Amino acid sequence: MLKLPGLIDPHVHLREPGATHKEDYDSGTSAALAGGITMVLAMPNTRPPIFDAETLDLALTAAKGKARCDYAQFLGAGPNNGDWDKNKGLPQRAAGLKMYLDSTFGELRLDDMTLWMPHFETFPKELPIVAHSESRSMASAILFAAIYDRPVHIAHISLKEEVLLIKAARERGIQVTCEVCPHHLFLTKEVPPPTLRATSPNFAEIGGGLGGGRAEVRPRLATQEDVDSLWANLDVIDCFATDHAPHTVEEKDSDNPPPGFPGLETILPLLLTAVSEKRLSLDALIEKMHTNPKRIFNLPDQPETWVEVDEKAIYEIKAADQFTRCGWTPFEGWKVKGKVRKVVLRGQTAFEDGRILVPAGYGIDIRQEIS
Ligand code: DOR
Ligand code: ZN
């Protein structure tokens, strides 16, 4: 048995409030525990979006009654909530501020850079700003970090140009950190893996790329060259994050498929398989799923918390075995090595051999309660 510290996922979509048929704080945090994750930071692109005291309370009230692992909730940057000085104390109750600088799922988006400025000026520097920013808008976000002399964390990088620019910016002392998701490390847009083709009729090959609604995700799946570059520059990547973005299998297979992949239950086995293949060291995995997110997002210790993994167990990923409500996974049928056996969270066995053992509401808001 391999013993790991409680893993942290700084990027999940739990769909509460507003779309609990896809996921809620209960099913999402159960999926987290089953995946060896003991703390999640929840994104604000819900319905309504989380952007002020009232909507933050809405999400945190749901979380308090339902969460099974520990959590914090992000606030979203909108066009009219940029003066955080007017809302003293509110940022401290949140995981941090999420800024959507490119179009994606949900209503939160800031097209005009004048709308970015007040957020960078007034959001407390000791709390994280996370940017959904791709390619050139990522370069703009890094410029903002330099101008306003504050850290910025770039969500889900996927491109060679992104990892190389972050490296260069950091070498010049700009405070920029980043995360990468398993789907951008293990999938490309070019060749659908055989398992995807076999299990998903929707993955027609269109012009040599992945077709079908299930392949829709933002940022999009990239080229093999991009994927190779992420693996070659793992030392630049601070965190692994899932961007767990559950949409039901019916929605993904519809004529208007929303972008997003579930990921909480597959991140650890996929990465442990990479460890077993010597593409990644165990130390790097722990650094990117525990040590670094804890530092970057200013997260507390979880005492008496650990994950036990059978690192020799080989098994097939199956949506039918998962706790997420969405009913599918882009990794259906993949053979992985490394299975979560047991999760102990603050002294209680929270998950063991496929069963969740702590009640809804066991999870705590790490920004409110000292664990
Ligand atoms: O694919 C995505 N899905 N990318 C995002 O940025 C949002 C997410 C969602 O909430 O579904
Ligand atoms: Zn996301």
Please say if the pLDDT value at position 78 is more than 60. Answer: yes
Provide the residue range defining the domain that includes 50.
Answer: 2-356
Q: How far, in Å, is the centroid of ligand 1 from the Cα of 146?
A: 27
Task: Evaluate: CB of 46 within 6 angstroms of ligand 1.
Answer: no
Q: How far, in Å, is the centroid of ligand 2 from the Cα of 12?
A: 6
Q: How far, in Å, is the centroid of ligand 2 from the Cα of 347?
A: 30
Residues with Cβ within 8 Å of 341's Cβ and at least 6 positions away in sequence, in order, are 1, 308, 309, 310, 352, 353
Please say if the pLDDT value at position 207 is more than 50. Answer: no
Query: Which residue did the predictor score with more confidence, 47 or 111?
Result: 47
DSSP state of 320: G
Q: pTM for the whole thing?
A: 0.95
Cis peptide before 246 (omega within 30 of 0): no
Strands 2-5 vs 306-316: parallel, antiparallel or unpaired? antiparallel
Q: How far, in Å, is the centroid of ligand 1 from the Cα of 81?
A: 22
Strands 37-42 vs 129-132: parallel, antiparallel or unpaired? unpaired
Q: Does residue 369 belong to any structural domain of this protein?
A: no
Ligand lying nearest the CA atom of residue 134 = 1
Q: Does residue 191 belong to any structural domain of this protein?
A: yes
Task: Evaluate: CB of 218 within 6 angstroms of ligand 1.
Answer: yes
Q: Does residue 367 belong to any structural domain of this protein?
A: no
Q: Does residue 207 belong to any structural domain of this protein?
A: yes
The answer to whether 1 touches 308, Cβ cutoff 8 Å, is yes
Q: How far, in Å, is the centroid of ligand 1 from the Cα of 245?
A: 6
Tokens matching residue 235: 């030392």
- Ligand 1 atom closest to the Cα of residue 246 is 11
Residue type, 48: P
Tokens matching residue 135: 């390619």
Task: Evaluate: CB of 217 within 6 angstroms of ligand 1.
Answer: yes
Q: Does residue 221 belong to any structural domain of this protein?
A: yes
pLDDT single digits (tens) 113-168: 999 999 999 999 999 999 999 999 999 999 999 999 999 999 999 999 999 999 99
Q: Does residue 363 belong to any structural domain of this protein?
A: no
Q: Does residue 114 belong to any structural domain of this protein?
A: yes
Q: Does residue 371 belong to any structural domain of this protein?
A: no
- The CATH code of the domain that includes 260 is 3.20.20.140
Q: Which one, of 257, 265, 248, lies nearest residue 328 by Cα?
A: 248
pLDDT band at 201 (very low <50, low <70, confident <90, very high): very low
Q: State which of 13, 43, 102 you would mutate to test the pocket of ligand 1, scoring each by most atoms of that ligand within 8 A of its C-beta.
A: 13
pLDDT single digits (tens) 289-311: 999 999 999 999 999 999 999 99
Number of domains in the chain: 1
